[in-house]
Amino acid sequence: MAFTRRGFTSAGLGLASVAALGGIKPSQAAAPVTIGLSNGYFGTEWRDQMIDASKTQFAMYENQGLAHKLIVQQAGPDTAAQIQDVRNMIRSRVNVLMIDANSATALTGVIHEAKRAGIPVIAFDQAVTDPYAINVGIDEYDWGKHYAEWIVAQLKGQGRVAVMDGVPGHPAAVARRTAFMDVFAKNPGIKIVWSGYGMWDQAKAQAVMATVLAATPHIDAVCTEDGMGLGIMRAFQAAGRPVPIMTGEAQKSFLLAWKKERDAGHDVHLFARSNPPEIGRTAVGVAVRIAAGRKLKPLPDNTYHYPIKVEVTNDNLDQLLASVADKPDGYFLGEYLSESELDKLFV
């Protein structure tokens, strides 16, 4: 898909040549850059860390004189409220919009308004369908595929698997679930004994799994994604059953429970892949460069998929835990693009 971005590319072309040599460096005459960040759901550890990470990245650019102001608005689950937030940002003439949307489609109208106002839009974390927006996030399908493939490898293609998903209808949950089912369908030895939803909530996941365990005597592995692994592990422990082969979240609390289980001498087979809230940092990096007039290299479907590096296994568990020793238990393993990696995305 061709990269057709109007409005800001032409305005920034002159600056881009200046910027090409040394990092972002817009000309000193450039107007101070204001970023409007509109977030949907908030009050979860992941989203809080995402906002903090975005602010950290922004502060770095602010110190370098590359950005002037970061406006953060969090609408909660209310789409109408997020529309109002984005409208206010357009009206206060931010230079670039960053949106973590509640839905892939509901902001289409207001993204059109941003387009008319000539304000570039970066949809991060949650991808949106409108082609004007640049998506920055992880490849949810690929992410889910890694989880399911790890399960299949651990089971050597044979076993009874329970699958727990996040929120029904949420695009990320749907993509991951589809990936799980695609992988399992290719392995006839894998039998799915139960599948359902834990709402990305540890307590809910634990309660659901407790019910499942009572009804399902034989489970070899649990394939779950993000934010429910700890609850599932606790359900097994509470039922007096050994923790099965299972996936979980790259969150400190889960990793601590994992270590405890292993240190107690149990044979643990666990896996987690990072889904970094620091995607906010990467997105701020992209936003500041676009606001400075730099031009992205063409992206397929206008979407940049952040390449995840961190996978947690028994081998690197201790090392990764040590690296987040000073962080709270709710902390997710973070990773983001460096300045030079960010520069490589641009012409």
Which residues lie near another protein (CB under 8 A)? Answer: 42, 71-81, 83-85, 87-88, 90-92, 102-110, 112-113, 168-171, 174
Specify burial of residue 245 (Cβ count, 10 A radius: 0-12, 13-18, 19+).
Answer: buried
Based on CB atoms, which residue is closest to another protein, 70 or 246?
Answer: 70
Q: Rg of the chain's alpha carbons, rounded to an integer?
A: 22
Give the distance from CA 338 to its chain's centroid: 17
Please report how close the Cβ of residue 318 comes to another protein at its closest, in angstroms. Answer: 37
Based on CB atoms, which residue is closest to another protein, 148 or 172?
Answer: 172
Based on CB atoms, which residue is closest to another protein, 86 or 213?
Answer: 86
Please report how close the Cβ of residue 113 comes to another protein at its closest, in angstroms. Answer: 8
Report which of 89, 62, 50, 103 is spatially closest to residue 283, judged by C-alpha positions: 50
Q: How many CB atoms lie within 10 A of CB 285?
A: 25
Helix 45-63 vs helix 279-291: crossing angle, to nearest 10:
40
Please report how close the Cβ of residue 274 comes to another protein at its closest, in angstroms. Answer: 25
Based on CB atoms, which residue is closest to another protein, 44 or 108?
Answer: 108
Please report how close the Cβ of residue 63 comes to another protein at its closest, in angstroms. Answer: 20
Q: Both tokens of residue 115?
A: 């387009």
Number of helical H runs and strand E runs in the chain? 12, 12
Q: In which order are the strands placed within the sheet that holds 34-39?
A: 69-74, 34-39, 96-100, 121-124, 134-137, 303-305
Based on CB atoms, which residue is closest to another protein, 94 or 255?
Answer: 94
Based on CB atoms, which residue is closest to another protein, 165 or 335?
Answer: 165
Please report how close the Cβ of residue 169 comes to another protein at its closest, in angstroms. Answer: 4
Please report how close the Cβ of residue 71 comes to another protein at its closest, in angstroms. Answer: 8
Which CA distances in Å does 113 have to 7, 86, 90?
A: 13, 9, 8
